[in-house]
Amino acid sequence: MGRKEEMKRMKTKKIAGSIAFVVGLIIIWQLIYVIGADWLKVVKPYAVPNPLGVWNSFIGLIANGTMLTAVGHSMLRALIGFIIAIILGVILGILILHFPYLCTNLKPMILGIQTLPSICWVPFAILWFGLGESAIIFVVVMGSAFSIALAVESGVKSVPPIYIKAAKTMGVGAVGMYKKVIFPAALPSFISGLKQGWSFAWRALMSGEVMSATVGLGYTLILGRDLADINQVMTVMLVIIALGIIIDKGFFSVIENRILRKRGLLQ
Amino acid sequence: MYLQLNSINKVFDDTDKESLSDISLEVKEGEFICIVGPSGCGKSTLLNLVAGLISPTSGEITLEGNIVKEPGADRVMMFQEAALYPWLTVRENVMFGLSAKGCSREEQKEIAKKYLKMVQLWHYRNYPIHQISGGMKQRTALARALAMDSKLLLMDEPFSALDKQTINVLREELEAIWEETRKTILYVTHSVEEAIYFADRVVVMSENPGRIREIIPITLERPRRVENESFMALRQQILQSVKAGVKKSMEEEFDGPEGGNEEDED
């Protein structure tokens, strides 16, 4: 019991430390702003955000409903794009796995395309789909489908051959092999691939929205620049970061850890 | 004849090395055959051929008159590693092959219960795989293989990764299970002792290329005792035979056909 309490106290201490760090950072930030902008007049207030301004901007965006609409639209686009990317990525991944010809020739290309920053797809998107939802979704799909395809391929390849051998001698056929052995065995790496794919999708979404949206987080950010409201720009940046963390830690990591723990791969 | 191997040759494409040469063997239904030999003599390859996981370069294998072409549920194989699925529980692993066979959920549960009880793991049926010991894993794998009720059971050094005490317990269990079920078993092992303990006939192989050196019938009364004098005499005899098979290949390596060519290092 004593050890448990000890651990609990350690944890509380750790959390308190983290909070103190963030609070300290905000205080220093505000101090620098006050000294630089108000006292020494070397910092231009329209170019540097300050904590108080960001807070006011946040409250303002919440109050007039802009923030909620923006988050809603952005999340919906990301979700639609991500689902399309999963479907395409899985199909592409399985094709690469089944045809050695595609593996030698198409895979290096996919690796190449994957290094392309998704903003590079924006011109195509606008030319092909016009300024609208489909253009942004196209950028999201292009930004994440290829990384998902590579994750599917490497996940399946990492399945221990003995799992497949054992199933074969028990008379499991090709379809059953995917359903009962390969998919469950590749699930942990597939989930971590999806997690990475999501982070690509999220970044691609912002590229798309900054260029061509009329509503959404990326658009709200650019609107802040156009209004010379640097605090609004900063507010939207923080919201984008927060959403990214929440989905990564609150969704993907939770699923990932649950699977790993069930298999004894995580304590 | 139940299982028949007709002058099997196996050459692996990637190395061009003749792994097995002119292997012929006939196995009766219900027979327990143990295959021993130096490591690298192709005894596991032989098992993989019978399983249908690989195909012979020439020669053919027939089971009840049907030529073996691909893996099938009539030739279940057990490996050195248990090869259990970590996302399933002990019982689900035993039920695994049964669903592929088309058994209903109820049948699967009933069969799994029977064999889990046989290997004394019923109590652990709902355990995840990572929470049971190595010996329990192999017992689960054995239950899974038995549950398939296949014509032939192929075992590739199933106990060799376990500690001595666990091996002794599992040997007795497998012996008793075999007495009860009278499965036809092809059992590969590097332990001569284990071979004599189980086998109706011990197949001794030699290496480079893998050939059958001799086949020794074991007529000792079961259950066999390692301390028994005739057991020890047999053990000596077979060990000699295995050693002779190794020695031949060692000589080949040192002053063999190509002579020691040192430039061929890489």
How distant, in Å, are the alpha carbons of A118, A155, B53 from that of A142? 7, 21, 40
Which chain B residue's Cα is nearest to A173?
A: B100
Task: Write out chain B residues lying below 8 Å of A263, CB-based.
Answer: 86-87, 128-130
Tokens 């005490």 belong to residue: B165
Q: What is the pLDDT of residue A147?
A: 93
Q: Does A168 touch chain B (CB under 8 A)?
A: yes
Q: How many domains does chain B have?
A: 2
pLDDT digits (tens, 9 = 90+) for A58-67: 999 999 999 9
A168–B79 C-beta distance less than 8 A: no
A184 CB within 8 Å of a chain B CB: yes
Average pLDDT of A73-82? Answer: 94
A165 touches chain B (CB under 8 A): yes
pLDDT of residue B265: 37
Helix axes A2-33, A51-63, angle to 10 degrees: 100
- Which residues contact residue A79 at a Cβ distance below 8 angstroms, ignoring those fewer than 6 apart? none
B33 forms beta bridges with: B186, B201
Question: Has residue A74 got a pLDDT over 50?
Answer: yes
Any idea which residue has 């010809």 for tokens?
A: A101
Boundary (domain end) residue, out of B149, B174, B202: B149
A263 with B73: Cβ contact below 8 A = no
A158 touches chain B (CB under 8 A): no
- Domain contains B79: no
pLDDT band at A174 (very low <50, low <70, confident <90, very high): confident
Q: Is the pLDDT of residue A136 over 50?
A: yes
Three-state secondary structure string covering chain B = CCEEEEEEEEECCCCCCEEEEEEEEEECCCCEEEEECCCCCCHHHHHHHHHCCCCCCEEEEEECCEECCCCCCCEEEECCCCCCCCCCEHHHHHHHHHHHHCCCHHHHHHHHHHHHHHCCCHHHCCCEHHHCCHHHHHHHHHHHHHHCCCCEEEEECCCCCCCHHHHHHHHHHHHHHHHHHCCEEEEECCCHHHHHHHCCEEEEEECCCEEEEEEEECCCCCCCCCCCHHHHHHHHHHHHHHHHHHHHHHHHHHHCCCCCCHHHCC
Contact in structure between B64 and B2 (CB atoms under 8 Å): yes
Nearest CA in chain B to A177: B100
Half-sphere exposure of A186 (CA within 13 A, CB side): 26
Same domain, residue pair B90 and B144: yes
Q: Which two tokens stand for residue B56?
A: 């012979």
Across the interface, whether the CB atoms of B100 and A171 are under 8 A apart is answered: yes
Among B47, B70, B87, B130, the residue to mutate for chain A (most A Cβ within 10 A): B87
Q: What is the pLDDT of residues A26-70, one digit of tens each?
A: 999 999 999 988 888 888 888 889 999 999 999 999 999 999 999
Which residues on neighbouring strands pair with residue B153, listed in sequence order? B76, B185
Let me know whether B107 and B224 are in one domain.
no
Do B141 and B45 fall within a single domain?
Answer: no
Is A162's Cβ below 8 Å from some Cβ in B?
yes
Q: Is residue B106 part of a domain?
A: yes
Q: What is the DSSP letter of A228?
A: T
Final residue of a structural domain among B149, B168, B198? B149
Q: What is the DSSP string of A108-167?
A: HHHHHHHTS-GGGGHHHHHHHH-SSHHHHHHHHHHHHHHHHHHHHHHHHHTS-HHHHHHH
Per the rule left: phi > 0, alpha: psi between -120 and 50, beta: everything else, B40 is left
One domain for residues B217 and B176:
yes
3-class SS at A201? helix
A264 interface with B at CB cutoff 8 Å: yes
Contact A168 B87 (CB under 8 A): no
Residues B116 and B166 in one domain: no
Residue B210 located in a structural domain: yes
Of B112, B134, B114, B132, the closest CA to residue B124 belongs to: B132
Edge to edge, the sheet with strand B201-206 lists B75-78, B152-156, B184-188, B32-36, B201-206, B211-217
Nearest to A205 by CA among A82, A32, A38: A82
Is there a contact between A264 and A92 (Cβ–Cβ < 8 Å)? no
Task: Please return the burial class of B41, using the count of CB atoms within 10 Å of its CB with bins 0-12, 13-18 and 19+.
Answer: buried
Residue of chain B with shortest Cα separation from A159: B85
Q: What pLDDT was estimated at residue A149? A: 94
Tell me, yes or no, whether B266 lies in a domain.
no
CATH number, domain containing residue B159:
3.40.50.300
DSSP at A64: T
Return the residue of A nearest to B80 by Cα.
A162
Neighbouring CB atoms inside 10 A of A265's CB total: 12
Whether residue B132 is contained in a domain is answered as yes
B contact set with A (CB within 8 A): 51-53, 71-77, 79, 81, 83, 85-87, 96-97, 99-101, 128-131, 144, 148, 154
- Per the CB < 8 Å rule, is B53 touching A184? no
Instruction: Assess if residue B261 is contained within a domain.
Output: no
Q: What's the rounded Cα separation, in Å, for the pair A32 and B69?
A: 78
Burial class (CB in 10 A: 0-12, 13-18, 19+), A80: middle
Closest chain B C-alpha to A171 CA, distance in angstroms:
4
Tokens of A11: 């944890």
Q: What is the pLDDT of residue B266?
A: 39
**β-bridge partners, B202:** B34, B216
In chain A, % helix, strand, coil (3-state, to 5) comes to: 85, 0, 15
Task: Say what the pLDDT of residue B263 is.
Answer: 39
Token couple for A94? 């399985």
Residue B177 lies in a domain: yes
Which of B9, B10, B4 has its CA nearest to residue B22?
B9
Structural domain boundaries, residue B172: 3-74+151-255
Q: What is the pLDDT along chain B (266 residues), one digit of tens a residue?
A: 799 999 999 998 887 778 899 999 999 999 999 999 988 888 999 999 999 999 999 999 999 999 999 999 999 999 999 899 999 999 999 999 898 888 899 999 999 999 999 899 999 999 999 999 999 999 999 999 999 999 899 999 999 888 888 899 889 989 999 999 899 999 999 899 999 999 999 999 998 888 999 999 999 998 898 888 999 999 999 999 988 877 665 655 555 444 444 433 33
> What confidence score (pLDDT) does residue B247 get?
62
B69 and B89 fall within a common domain? no
Mean pLDDT in residue range A131-141: 91
Judge if B173 and B247 occupy the same domain: yes
Q: What percent of chain A has pLDDT over 90?
A: 69
Question: Which strands sit side by side in the sheet containing B18-27, from one edge to the other?
Answer: B18-27, B3-11, B58-63, B66-67
The verdict on B56 and B162 lying in the same domain is yes
Global pTM reads 0.81
If asked whether residues B221 and B180 sit together in one domain, one would say yes
- Both B43 and B105 in one domain: the answer is no
Q: What is the sign of the dihedral through the CA atoms of B199, B202, B205 and B211?
A: negative
For the stretch A234-248, pLDDT in tens is 999 999 999 999 999
Boundary (domain end) residue, out of B118, B149, B180: B149
The owner of tokens 């359903």 is: A179
